[in-house]
């Protein structure tokens, strides 16, 4: 068996162990017993949050909903942003006329828009998805556009030598060259979409609760074990999404582009 | 016209040069005068090398010959349907295998898949890379990548083959080996070639004719015929007659630089 991959993960595992150690230290030593509820030790969080059947079901249902919101939002955003980037790359005037407004949308704090959306369309599933779509759009748009433009002039010459037209160049040169950049954009957008789904929840108290709703609820009820469990699950969701796109990028462009080599695991 | 039916077509012959540049000038929009009037005819079976200091307009000249750039004045006539072009860099598509990189030109010209695969494999054999057909470019050395780039053009069976300092960035041993490969291919295929280099010795060793360009704005300030036949081989590099011609070419270049 090859132990080198395991050895490479060792530092990260040690850090995780140290973090749990510090956690125990704070809960059990720094905090007096009457204040321990502020930061309960890991085993309490696991018992209350994950081993208790009802609590676990509540958490996992909420997590699933948030995951659905985030992934559907990302999917729609990716389709729209990639299509928009392709159109913009083919027609400068389109980029000139629309890009400034995508920047405006990007710099407007999305959470400031949530109440407005809720006011217009209610606080249902589709409004939650819309928040994620908007949040994820810009990074995918810019990275795709950048990727499409990344093919060197000499490569365009190569195609023009045999009289290849714009669409041939787009399909056989610019889009393949853009793929690694698109994946970088997707990875960033996916993380933002998860955050959008969870933070957006704070505004969506009606309907089926997402994990953000639970976080809000546990906090108001001082259920700190479950609160911590919900926070851990939220970051787990983010990590899973991040890993998924790293894995996908390695499958698709790993054979030819070094960007897909996982950072921190090189050599 | 595709490579497939090009075989049936008569080879370019007798009726005038394959490439003809008449008083071609180039001025860039920023005012740079890259080429003063240049006249250059290249016939089938001729291997013409262009030497000159860097920045004198050699790349510009090739790009105009290939139709990648428009001359500011003058006339360009290329009687070649199948045009090979090797850039200074290999310009391989990193996501494609060596074989599908070599297939690219045929693919863009609509050559049927089976036919262009056959051509690609034949071209890869010519440059000695059959065993690497399935590899990605990034697994190859610089010299091998340049060979793939050669094979990509060869797969078209070019009538006119333009090469822009193709081996300039390689080490000497690799460069000499690729020069010999190119000689072998030229002896077999007898395309019309324009080969840009800054190495005088390489130019004389490869060519039927060497053209010297002046510093910018480039114009032709000397022409030398190299009287050796083909095939040529290794031993010729140290031939006194060849070195005498090389010395003359160098002297011409130095005189032009003054
Ligand atoms: N697109 C361009 N715009 C302005 N100047 C250019 C452009 N391309 C090349 N030049 C200039 O034209 C001259 C000739 O360039 P080039 O043909 O590349 O020279 P060489 O290949 O002989 O080194 C150089 O001085 C270069 O800076
Ligand atoms: Mg050049």
> Residues B22, B141: one domain?
no
pTM beyond 0.80: the answer is yes
**In chain A, what residues touch B83 (CB-CB under 8 Å)?**
161
Three-state DSSP state, B87: coil
Q: Are B54 and B33 in contact (CB under 8 A)?
A: no
> Residues B188, B228: one domain?
yes
> Residues A73, A117: one domain?
yes
Is B187 within the bounds of a domain? yes
> Residues B147, B44: one domain?
no
Residue B151: the pLDDT is: 95
> Residues B149, B162: one domain?
no
Residue A249: the pLDDT is: 93
| Average pLDDT for A115-139 | 89
> Residues B169, B247: one domain?
yes
> Residues A21, A82: one domain?
no
B89 touches chain A (CB under 8 A): yes
User: Which H or E run includes B192?
Assistant: strand B192-197
Tokens 């995918």: give the residue: A140
Tokens 């000497």: give the residue: B172
> Residues B113, B165: one domain?
no
> Residues B151, B165: one domain?
no
Mean pLDDT over the full length of chain A:
90
Q: For residues B255 and A69, what is the distance between their CA atoms, to the nearest angstrom? A: 75
Is A162–B105 a contact, with Cβ atoms under 8 angstroms apart?
yes
* Domain stops at, among B103, B122, B156: B156
Determine how many CB atoms are found less than 10 A away from the CB of residue A241. Answer: 21
How many A from CA of A80 to the centre of ligand 2? 42
Is A267 within the bounds of a domain? no
* Domain stops at, among B156, B179, B198: B156
Dihedral of CA atoms A147, A152, A155, A159 in degrees, nearest 10, equals 70
Chain A nearest-CA distance from B142, in A, is 16
Residue B1: the pLDDT is: 34
Domain count within chain A: 2
**A86 phi/psi in degrees, rounded to 5:** -65, -45
Domain count within chain B: 2
> Residues A31, A82: one domain?
no
| Average pLDDT for A219-244 | 92
Phi-psi region of A49 (alpha: psi -120 to 50; beta: other; left: phi over 0): alpha
> Residues A95, A180: one domain?
yes
> Residues A145, A96: one domain?
yes
Q: Are B98 and B140 in contact (CB under 8 A)?
A: yes
Is A78 within the bounds of a domain? yes
How many A from CA of B53 to the centre of ligand 2? 10
> Using CB atoms, which residue from A158, A160, A179 is nearest to B91?
A158
| Nearest CA among B213, B211, B214, B200 for reference residue B242 | B200
Is A266 within the bounds of a domain? no
CA-nearest residue to A173 within chain B is B93
**Which of B81, B95, B100, B160 to mutate to test binding with chain A, by most A CBs within 10 Å of its CB?**
B95
Is A167 within the bounds of a domain? yes
What is the residue range of A87's domain? Answer: 40-260
CB pairs A-B closer than 8 Å: 44
Name the residues around ion ligand 2, CB cutoff 5 A: B 59
Report CA-CA distances (Å) from A249 to A76, A242, B97, B227.
19, 11, 18, 56
DSSP count for chain A of H helices, then E strands: 11, 0
Q: What is the CATH number of the domain that holds B59?
A: 3.40.50.300
Is B213 within the bounds of a domain? yes
> Residues B204, B216: one domain?
yes
> Residues A34, A44: one domain?
no
> Residues B166, B143: one domain?
no
Determine how many CB atoms are found less than 10 A away from the CB of residue A256. Answer: 19
Is A48 within the bounds of a domain? yes
**Is residue A111 pLDDT above 80, yes or no?**
no
Q: What is the CATH number of the domain that holds A238?
A: 1.10.3720.10
> Residues B47, B136: one domain?
no
| Average pLDDT for A120-144 | 91
Is B116 within the bounds of a domain? yes
Is B4 within the bounds of a domain? no
**In chain B, what residues touch A160 (CB-CB under 8 Å)?**
68
Q: Are A41 and A23 in contact (CB under 8 A)?
A: yes
> Residues A121, A176: one domain?
yes
> Residues A111, A160: one domain?
yes
Is B7 within the bounds of a domain? no
Q: For residue range A156-201, list pLDDT tens digits in order.
A: 999 999 999 999 999 999 999 999 999 999 999 999 999 989 888 8
> Residues B107, B175: one domain?
no
| Nearest CA among A238, A233, A144, A262 for reference residue A190 | A238
**Is residue A35 pLDDT above 80, yes or no?**
yes
**In chain A, what residues touch B94 (CB-CB under 8 Å)?**
256-257
Q: Which two tokens stand for residue A170?
A: 């787009």
Helices (DSSP H) in A150-223: which residue ranges? Answer: 153-161, 166-169, 175-200, 211-220
Q: For residues B143 and B145, what is the distance between their CA atoms, to the nearest angstrom? A: 5
Is A265 within the bounds of a domain? no
> Residues A122, A17: one domain?
no
Q: Are B50 and B194 in contact (CB under 8 A)?
A: yes
**Which of A159, A161, A170 to mutate to test binding with chain B, by most B CBs within 10 Å of its CB?**
A161
Residue B14: the pLDDT is: 53
**Which of A162, A168, A171 to mutate to test binding with chain B, by most B CBs within 10 Å of its CB?**
A162
**Is residue A262 pLDDT above 60, yes or no?**
no
Point out which residues pair with B142 in neighbouring strands.
none
> Residues A125, A91: one domain?
yes
> Residues B169, B145: one domain?
no
**With bands split at pLDDT 50, 70 and 90, how would you rate the model's confidence at A1?**
low
Residue % of chain A over a pLDDT of 90: 65
Q: Which residues line ligand 1 (CB under 6 A)?
A: B 28, 30, 32, 34, 52, 54-60, 216
Show pLDDT as tens, one digit a residue, over chain B (258 residues). Answer: 333 344 434 444 556 899 999 999 999 999 999 999 999 999 999 999 999 999 999 999 999 999 999 999 999 999 888 999 999 999 999 999 999 999 999 999 999 999 999 999 999 998 999 999 999 999 999 999 999 999 999 999 999 999 999 998 889 998 998 999 999 999 988 999 999 998 999 999 999 999 999 998 999 999 999 999 999 988 899 999 999 999 999 999 999 887
What is the residue range of B58's domain? Answer: 14-82+158-257
Is B49 within the bounds of a domain? yes
Q: For residue range A56-85, list pLDDT tens digits in order.
A: 999 999 999 999 999 999 999 999 999 999
> Residues A121, A249: one domain?
yes
| Nearest CA among B166, B155, B96, B149 for reference residue B120 | B155
> Residues A83, A128: one domain?
yes
């Amino acid at each position: 068996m090859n132990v080198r991959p395991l050895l490479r993960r060792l530092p990260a595992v040690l850090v995780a162990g140290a973090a749990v150690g510090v956690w125990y230290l704070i809960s059990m030593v720094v905090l007096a017993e009457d204040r321990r509820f502020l930061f309960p030790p890991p085993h309490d969080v696991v018992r209350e949050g994950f081993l208790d059947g009802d609590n676990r079901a509540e958490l996992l249902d909420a997590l699933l909903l948030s995951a659905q919101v985030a992934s559907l939002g990302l999917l729609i955003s990716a389709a729209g942003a990639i299509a928009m980037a392709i159109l913009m790359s083919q027609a400068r005037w389109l980029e000139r006329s629309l890009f400034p407004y995508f920047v405006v949308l990007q710099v407007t704090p999305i959470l400031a828009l949530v109440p407005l959306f809720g006011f217009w369309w209610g606080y249902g599933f589709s409004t939650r998805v819309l928040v994620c779509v908007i949040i994820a759009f810009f990074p995918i748009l810019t990275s795709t556009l950048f990727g499409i433009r990344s093919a060197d002039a000499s490569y365009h010459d190569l195609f023009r030598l045999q009289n290849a037209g714009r669409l041939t160049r787009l399909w056989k040169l610019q889009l393949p060259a853009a793929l690694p950049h698109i994946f970088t954009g997707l990875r960033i957008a996916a993380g933002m979409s998860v955050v959008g789904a969870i933070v957006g929840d704070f505004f969506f108290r009606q309907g089926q609760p997402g994990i953000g709703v639970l976080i809000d609820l546990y906090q108001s009820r001082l259920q700190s074990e479950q609160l911590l469990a919900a926070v851990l699950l939220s970051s787990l969701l983010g990590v899973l999404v991040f890993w998924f796109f790293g894995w996908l990028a390695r499958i698709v462009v790993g054979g030819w582009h070094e960007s897909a080599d996982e950072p921190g695991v090189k050599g | 016209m595709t490579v497939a039916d090009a075989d049936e077509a008569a080879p370019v012959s007798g009726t005038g040069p394959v490439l003809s540049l008449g008083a071609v000038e180039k001025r860039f929009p920023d005012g740079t005068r890259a080429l003063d009037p240049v006249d250059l005819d290249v016939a089938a079976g001729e291997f013409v090398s262009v030497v000159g200091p860097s920045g004198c307009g050699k790349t510009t000249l090739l790009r105009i010959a290939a139709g990648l750039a428009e001359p500011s004045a003058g006339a360009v006539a290329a009687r070649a349907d199948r045009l090979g072009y090797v850039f200074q860099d290999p310009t391989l598509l990193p996501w494609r295998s060596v074989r599908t990189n070599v297939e690219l030109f045929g693919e863009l010209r609509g050559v049927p898949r089976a036919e262009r695969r056959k051509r690609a494999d034949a071209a890869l054999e010519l440059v000695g890379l059959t065993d690497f057909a399935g590899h990605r470019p990034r697994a190859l050395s610089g010299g091998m990548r340049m060979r793939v780039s050669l094979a990509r053009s060869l797969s078209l069976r070019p009538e006119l083959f333009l090469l822009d300092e193709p081996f300039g960035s390689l080490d000497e041993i690799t460069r000499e080996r690729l020069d010999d490969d190119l000689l072998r291919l030229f002896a077999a295929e007898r395309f019309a070639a324009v080969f840009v280099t800054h190495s005088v010795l390489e130019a004389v060793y490869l060519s039927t004719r060497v053209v010297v360009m002046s510093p910018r704005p480039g114009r032709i300030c000397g022409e030398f015929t190299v009287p050796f036949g083909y095939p040529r081989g290794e031993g010729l590099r140290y031939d006194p007659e060849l070195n005498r011609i090389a010395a003359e070419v160098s002297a011409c270049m130095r005189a032009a630089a003054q």
